[in-house]
Structure 1
Amino acid sequence: MPAKRPSSPAYPARPATRQLCRVGEEYRRDFEELRGDGIRAAILNRTVIQCAAASAAICVLNRYLPVSLLLGWTVLLATTLICILKLERGLEANRRRRVPRLFRPYIIASGLNVCTWSTLVWMVAEVGNLELQVQLWAVSAFLIAASGMLLPGSPSFSILLAGTLSALHIATFLASGQFGMGATAIAFALLSAAGIVQSGRRYRTAKRALAVLQENEEVVSLLLREFEDSDADWLWEIDTTRRVRSASRRFAYALAREPQEAEGQYFLALLAGEGKNPVAVHASLIDLAERLNRRESFSDLLVQVTIGDTPRWWELSGTPKTDEYGRFAGFRGVGSDVTAARLSSEKIAYLARYDTLTGLPNRLMLTEVLGKALEQARERGTTCAFLMIDLDRFKTVNDTLGHQVGDQLLAHVSERLRGQMIENQTCCRLGGDEFAVVIDNVGDAADVAITAQRIIDELSQPYGIEPHMLFVGASVGSALGPRDGANGETLMRSADLALYRAKDAGGNAHFTYEPSLHAVAEERRQLEAALRTALQANEFELEYQPVVDAQHERIVGLEALLRWNNAQHGLVSPSKFVPVAEDTRLVIPIGEWVLRKACLEAIRWPDAVRIAVNVSGEQLLDPNFSAVIVRALSDSGLTPQRLEIEVTESIFLRDANLARTALEEIMALGCTVALDDFGTGYSSLGYLRELHFSTIKVDRSFVQGAAVGNSECLAIIRAVVAMANSLGISTTAEGVETIAELDVARSLGCNKIQGFYFGYPMPASDALELFDSRLSSTG
């Protein structure tokens, strides 16, 4: 890869005066970019100039000023000079790392140095000796002129020094009536300033030109070195007889030969390999030979060659060459070995069409195979079939034993599927635990049924995955093409509907597509359409189910449950319309209505009673969900501590980090969060530690199992309660319907109880009356 060209210094060819006098960040950048390697020379020049000028000043003033005063001035001057020199050395050592903290002290030290020189002018003015003033002005003139000439990289310092000293001398001359000397000093000051500016401009222009020159030399050097050192490209040349001429070292290296061995050999014979059977020569090499024969130019021609016994891929470009008389003299060109890129592209093409876990064709290749089978069926007047396969109980394996065991199981399933395929059958993996089979030129529906049953029987056999013995089944839905679908998408949809029917029937079964299955899909479509207008039609209502304290049996909260009564469909079960709402994201506005309605109702209850609202993953992961809660609380006046948000473990499956962030925002508002149906899905033990859930709700299946003495259910509830107690989390037993279930939940340590035993879901008016009943009076 070519080296990136460094950017040129961003300075004009002829800088303005104001650019030469700048300080701060711009001066720091100027120092780094322009002074660069001249810092050491500036240190030496500044030392010599200042020492020489100081020696001259002391020689002039030692007869007029006390020795102690001159000694103190010398110490002060030396101190400022040493500070400047140290700071300049520090800037030199750190200029590549950009240390801004060194520049402010550097500017301050420079200013103090100028002030030190200025005190001499003031002291001489106090003496009142005209000759002494002129002599000191001569020393200052030397200092100004020398600084301007020998420190072109520090124009700011030179201008400050010249301006300050010149102004003081001019004022001194004019105050003593020496107008001639004052005019001379003014003229010298103007000329010095002009000289300093001109010197700085020249210095900056020269430095910029040098930087550009060095940059261009570096780029050229890098390009030449990269080309010389790279083995990726080489030059090749052949004569009119196609023999290699002027074989370069890299071309010979690509041929695994020495240059003298390649010289004079037939070009195509070298590429084909020794002892290569002409019949077995790759088509790309034949194409190259034809282009050479036609004497036409070619570019980026991909050719398969044989080096030794190893096939390689080369990319060749060539142009015919002519002699001084315009006659054809052979070919010359460049080439590169692109074997790695070729293999990579082949691997990418393979990965695009095959599943990496199972090695089966994936959905993309399935679409191609199915489309081809449908096209041939239409042309021949025959039938093809499409089978969609879904594993039964696979989710349980993943949830209990982990994804690694699940992946091993999928690999075993794919091997069994592959073993069941015959000549006209192709099996593919659609994704997850879904597979598909395409059957070309099928006899009739009975043959499809036989194949489906054979697949079910084979996949239902036990799987030995150490140290486990696993049992899963398979559900199959099939459709015939082009009868049940004129294109691949329609045929897959028909088979999918048949698969849904097989799953609804309990699994481990095969169902064929029937037109009546579309009625089920149509019902869902109508349900979705009705759901979109349900909010505006005020068809939703909330019912509330009590949650009581396990020990004192007083109401500590109510859970809001959504009900939908539609004019066309009647009372629709939540198990039917909630999945539709989630799939269409209608659950977001519906959930907002539920939150607002529940909070408005809960404000009428006693302060100690909480309202619990179920929230789906779609709501929780919506960016505006926190704002929805804030509005519901604000509009109702309900305190955040009385609102409990209930979520299920499945929220961590989609985007665990986003779900955790959303829950943390809810908790930051002061609301509590309950984990519903714990233990029936995704195991979120890690998030129990990281997030401060207020409640874990034990699923009703465990409670009912424990009531009849199921040891596994008893062990699970004990473990959940113990874990919750150690984390400071309350536990609620769901689905308590009998006194036996209440007793076992209470004996196992559950803090709260919810179920039909204490009350069915009821309208808001009935819920309000509960607080005058026995349950509330016990509190």
Structure 2
Amino acid sequence: MTHAISSPAIGELSIWSVLGLSGQGSEEWARLRGLQYSQLALVARARIWAQALAAIVSVLLFAPYVSHPMIGGWLGALCASLTYSVRNEGQLSDADRRGMSSNEFRRQAMGTIINAMVWASPLLFFLPQAPVHLRYEFWTVLAMLMTVSAVIVPTVPLSTLLFSTIVGCGSVVGFFTLLQPGMAGVAALFVASIALGTIEASRHFLASRLAVAGMAERNEVVSLLLREFDEDEADWLWQTDAQRRVRAVSARFAEAMGMAPSEIEGSGFLSLLLGPGGDPRSGEGRGIERGTIPGLMELEEKFKARESFSNLLVRVMVQGTRRYWSLSGAPRFDDAGAFIGFRGVASDVTEQQETSEKIAYLARYDTLTGLPNRMMVIDALENALVAAREGDGQCAFLMIDLDRFKAVNDTLGHPVGDQLLSQVAERLKVLMTPNSLCGRLGGDEFCVVLRQANERTLVARLAQAIIADLSQPYFVDGHELTIGASVGSAFGPVDGGSVPALMRNADFALYRAKRNGRGMHSAFDEALRAEAEARAWLEEALRAAVERQEFEMFYQPVVDARSERLVGFESLLRWNSPELGRVSPDRFLSLAEDTRLSLPIGAWVLKEACHQVAQWPGNLRVSVNVSDKQALDPAFIDHVVTALAVSNLAPQRLEIEVTESLFQRDPALARATIERLTALGCSVILDDFGAGQASVAILCEMRFDAIKLDRALMKGAASGNAESMAMIRAAVAIADSLEMITIAKGVETPQELEIACKLGCRRLQGLAYGDARGVEEVQDLFGTRPVPVAQEERAG
């Protein structure tokens, strides 16, 4: 296993680190001690000979004055200490590779201490029996031993320091006891010099060994990298001379080019990448035209400037096939500083590049139509606005909405609708010029960005051309389809200085075009601006109304068609603003849906309706209209459960009204929501039945408790419209077969009341039985039978 070895400067190694007294047990400590103490095994023999020679001299000095048994005991202790030390040090021969353990470190230190104490013992036991001159002679022997220890094992300063300190301190004490302070001072200075010199020598040794180890590891890493480059199928080395000719062609390079190495050797590097269009052995000095091949021009500039480069993406031609290479390289210079070419690494990144291009395309283009998507349209509009401001001109943004497209999706399905959208995109492309860009914003919304739109009449003519072309018949899967288009336009920067403002104002203009009859073009103007400002002000007031709870609940009676008894109410929201007075639901409900305020408002309606109905007689129900966004909100079911729990209202008394558009937004989530409501015990009513094209299909897929007929059907039936009467009969028949209740809403006149009863509607709702009323007025109806308009007229 290869360790990461640092190479600190000499000054960075502290004394404690050199001595091995800090960081014991760590991997770094073990590695440093291994580098130091592995040298002991190499000099063990020299130490033995040095101490043996010193021991012989010492015996000769003390033999005439000290008893032979004492000298023999001392020699035995010396041999034992040397044997212990040599055995420990012999085990450290490979410590520079494996590191040194803490136990080995302690054993070696203990051996040094014992050996030093053996050599210090004659100072206490032999010298008092010997003449004075032997003191200086034996001190010379000890000084020689300390010097030898420092010289032959400079890499182990702790060992030298322990030996010198113990022996030196013994000498100092001995000289003081003999009343020779001068010699004691000399001994102390000698020991200090030995210690400092040893520490500094060891510090230099460690720094150099670490540097060598670091260099060896770096060489190993480089060798591994070169071996990987040689074996890796995606990377190879390349090299050129000073004239940019390829040299030392590797087998992998030749394989990547689809050529033999001999064919590549000596070829111009840039011409080689150009492919068949360039002469492989010439043309390096001609230069590459700007924009001809991506990356090659930048590569040529790097070559000319003799600059290093990294991960430069270059498109190359290999055997007639377009490939992408990633190139890295650096200039080479000889010992004299002369430029001799480039050397670098190359890899084939074609797959990654194609994937990146595909991702980039998907991020900016609509997958269905191939038109620029919202992101790319926003970028184009931003650039057009910048150019218009800088050039003191105008740009334009056209918002396009397809008329009657929803009916195609509902009746023929989404596959047909998708093909229709693709044909719409093709027609828009035909109308575009270099000055314009069309895109798809999503759904059936398209748009056009005009970079220069100084003449408003040209924009109007383009809008009319779009309406005319998109209104022509389409042929999809054997169907002849006719839809239309409405267009709203806004000019920048006069109608909006930012992309969001310009798009919003074009959308306002589109809304007016659709409101005025569809198939029309409307340009944003001051009237729309005032309307937009009023809408913004209304939105602000609506947000404040949510916080201040300026809403109140009204309830419209629902009666049984046969007995004409009150069976429940439909809850209706009213806004009583302190500034605006009573605001029509038509004004604020759509605004609430657009701004997502419908979620907190809807939660409040649920809670308030359940709270009020819980105080009414137990046989009465209440129906609550739920918007698509509210029904699909993850917290919707929790709001229902909370409203029921807080009010203690039985779930059977709560009816939730939804429309078929809910199932077009998210069929799976809509189905799950209905199933959870049913599991709670609540009733679910399909509102506005007959207004769309998918109502019957939804009835076959989902279980509802009731269907509420669209008001337009009742109006048509009362006026004698045979189609409306047929649809009501069919709806009643389907509901009866599925055990659902049919509710006729919008029953206002005696004729409508009579038709509803005649056609089999089981519940009735409308002005014929009273308009929506507040809570206090509702309580007056309890226990009564609402008198229909028809009976009032007969009574009159």
1:245-278 superposed Cα distances (whole Å, 9 cap, x missing partner): 4433322221112344434444333322235276
Deviation at 1:451, TM superposition (A): 2.6
Name the CA distance, whole Å, in 2 between partners of 1:437 and 1:567: 43
Deviation at 1:707, TM superposition (A): 4.5
Name the CA distance, whole Å, in 1 between partners of 2:778 and 2:530: 39
Equivalent of residue 598 in structure 1, options 609, 616, 631: 609
Q: Which residue of 2 aligns with 1:577?
A: 588
What SS is found at the alignment partner of 2:512? helix
Deviation at 1:697, TM superposition (A): 1.9
Q: Which residue of 1 aligns with 2:328?
A: 317
Equivalent of residue 380 in structure 2, options 369, 372, 394: 369
Q: Which residue of 1 aligns with 2:774?
A: 763
What pairs with 1:564-713 in structure 2 (closer than 5 Å)?
564-681=575-692, 683=694, 692-708=703-719, 710=721, 712-713=723-724
Name the CA distance, whole Å, in 2 between partners of 1:639 and 1:275: 83
* One-letter amino acid of the structure 2 residue matched with residue 505 of structure 1: N
Name the CA distance, whole Å, in 1 between partners of 2:297 and 2:539: 62
Name the CA distance, whole Å, in 2 between partners of 1:681 and 1:739: 27
What pairs with 1:28-427 in structure 2 (closer than 5 Å)?
230-276=232-278, 282=293, 284-292=295-303, 294-320=305-331, 330-427=341-438
Is the contact made by 1:554 and 1:776 (CA closer than 8 Å) also made in structure 2? no
Name the CA distance, whole Å, in 2 between partners of 1:773 and 1:491: 57
Equivalent of residue 484 in structure 1, options 476, 495, 499: 495
Is the contact made by 1:614 and 1:645 (CA closer than 8 Å) also made in structure 2? yes
Cα gap change, 1:239/1:381 in structure 2, threshold over 3 Å: closer, same or farther?
closer
Deviation at 1:639, TM superposition (A): 1.8
Deviation at 1:575, TM superposition (A): 1.7
Q: Which residue of 2 aligns with 1:468?
A: 479
Name the CA distance, whole Å, in 2 between partners of 1:726 and 1:640: 25
Q: Which residue of 1 aligns with 2:762?
A: 751
1:177-212 superposed Cα distances (whole Å, 9 cap, x missing partner): xxxxxxxxxxxxxxxxxxxxxxxxxxxxxxxxxxxx
Name the CA distance, whole Å, in 1 between partners of 2:721 and 2:624: 31
Cα gap change, 1:491/1:275 in structure 2, threshold over 3 Å: closer, same or farther?
closer
RMSD: 3.7
* One-letter amino acid of the structure 2 residue matched with residue 464 of structure 1: F
Cα gap change, 1:455/1:260 in structure 2, threshold over 3 Å: closer, same or farther?
same
Deviation at 1:502, TM superposition (A): 1.3
Is the contact made by 1:650 and 1:682 (CA closer than 8 Å) also made in structure 2? no
- 1:448 paired to 2:459: yes
Q: Which residue of 1 aligns with 2:128?
A: none
Cα gap change, 1:238/1:711 in structure 2, threshold over 3 Å: closer, same or farther?
farther
Name the CA distance, whole Å, in 2 between partners of 1:541 and 1:370: 44
Is the contact made by 2:621 and 2:654 (CA closer than 8 Å) also made in structure 1? yes
Deviation at 1:357, TM superposition (A): 2.5
* One-letter amino acid of the structure 2 residue matched with residue 336 of structure 1: S
| More displaced stretch, 569-578 vs 628-637 | 628-637
Name the CA distance, whole Å, in 2 between partners of 1:709 and 1:411: 42
Deviation at 1:505, TM superposition (A): 1.1
Identity %: 54
- 1:563 paired to 2:608: no
Deviation at 1:658, TM superposition (A): 4.3
Q: Which residue of 1 aligns with 2:565?
A: 554
Is the contact made by 1:384 and 1:439 (CA closer than 8 Å) also made in structure 2? yes
Is the contact made by 1:621 and 1:658 (CA closer than 8 Å) also made in structure 2? yes
* One-letter amino acid of the structure 1 residue matched with residue 482 of structure 2: F
Pick the structure with greater CA Rg: 2
Deviation at 1:603, TM superposition (A): 3.5
Task: Point out where structure 2 has 5 or more consecutive residues left out of the alignment.
Answer: 1-24, 26-223, 792-796
What pairs with 1:713-732 in structure 2 (closer than 5 Å)?
713-714=724-725, 716-732=727-743
Superposition TM-score, scaled by structure 2 size: 0.63
What SS is found at the alignment partner of 1:442? coil
Cα gap change, 1:687/1:500 in structure 2, threshold over 3 Å: closer, same or farther?
closer
Name the CA distance, whole Å, in 2 between partners of 1:229 and 1:554: 90
Superposition TM-score, scaled by structure 1 size: 0.64
Name the CA distance, whole Å, in 1 between partners of 2:457 and 2:440: 24
| More displaced stretch, 295-304 vs 621-630 | 621-630
Cα gap change, 1:442/1:628 in structure 2, threshold over 3 Å: closer, same or farther?
closer
What SS is found at the alignment partner of 1:613? strand
Cα gap change, 1:311/1:597 in structure 2, threshold over 3 Å: closer, same or farther?
closer
Name the CA distance, whole Å, in 1 between partners of 2:377 and 2:638: 45
Deviation at 1:526, TM superposition (A): 2.7
What SS is found at the alignment partner of 2:440? strand
Q: Which residue of 1 aligns with 2:512?
A: 501
Name the CA distance, whole Å, in 1 between partners of 2:336 and 2:491: 72
Deviation at 1:394, TM superposition (A): 2.0
Deviation at 1:664, TM superposition (A): 3.8
Name the CA distance, whole Å, in 2 between partners of 1:308 and 1:475: 52
1:414-464 superposed Cα distances (whole Å, 9 cap, x missing partner): 222222234433333332222223334435333332332222222222222
Equivalent of residue 737 in structure 1, options 742, 745, 748: 748
Deviation at 1:509, TM superposition (A): 1.5
Name the CA distance, whole Å, in 1 between partners of 2:386 and 2:443: 28
Cα gap change, 1:771/1:439 in structure 2, threshold over 3 Å: closer, same or farther?
same
Q: Which residue of 2 aligns with 1:123?
A: none
Cα gap change, 1:640/1:440 in structure 2, threshold over 3 Å: closer, same or farther?
closer
Name the CA distance, whole Å, in 2 between partners of 1:414 and 1:588: 35
Name the CA distance, whole Å, in 1 between partners of 2:747 and 2:227: 81
Q: Which residue of 2 aligns with 1:198?
A: none
1:103-122 superposed Cα distances (whole Å, 9 cap, x missing partner): xxxxxxxxxxxxxxxxxxxx
What SS is found at the alignment partner of 1:492? helix
Cα gap change, 1:231/1:489 in structure 2, threshold over 3 Å: closer, same or farther?
same
Deviation at 1:613, TM superposition (A): 1.6
1:364-419 superposed Cα distances (whole Å, 9 cap, x missing partner): 33333333333443444433333222222222222222222222222222222222
Name the CA distance, whole Å, in 2 between partners of 1:605 and 1:389: 50
* One-letter amino acid of the structure 1 residue matched with residue 567 of structure 2: V
What SS is found at the alignment partner of 1:770? coil
What SS is found at the alignment partner of 1:757? helix
Name the CA distance, whole Å, in 2 between partners of 1:536 and 1:227: 67
Cα gap change, 1:380/1:766 in structure 2, threshold over 3 Å: closer, same or farther?
closer
* One-letter amino acid of the structure 2 residue matched with residue 475 of structure 1: S
Is the contact made by 1:770 and 1:776 (CA closer than 8 Å) also made in structure 2? no
Is the contact made by 2:566 and 2:785 (CA closer than 8 Å) also made in structure 1? no
Name the CA distance, whole Å, in 2 between partners of 1:640 and 1:583: 30
Cα gap change, 1:375/1:701 in structure 2, threshold over 3 Å: closer, same or farther?
same
Cα gap change, 1:417/1:362 in structure 2, threshold over 3 Å: closer, same or farther?
same
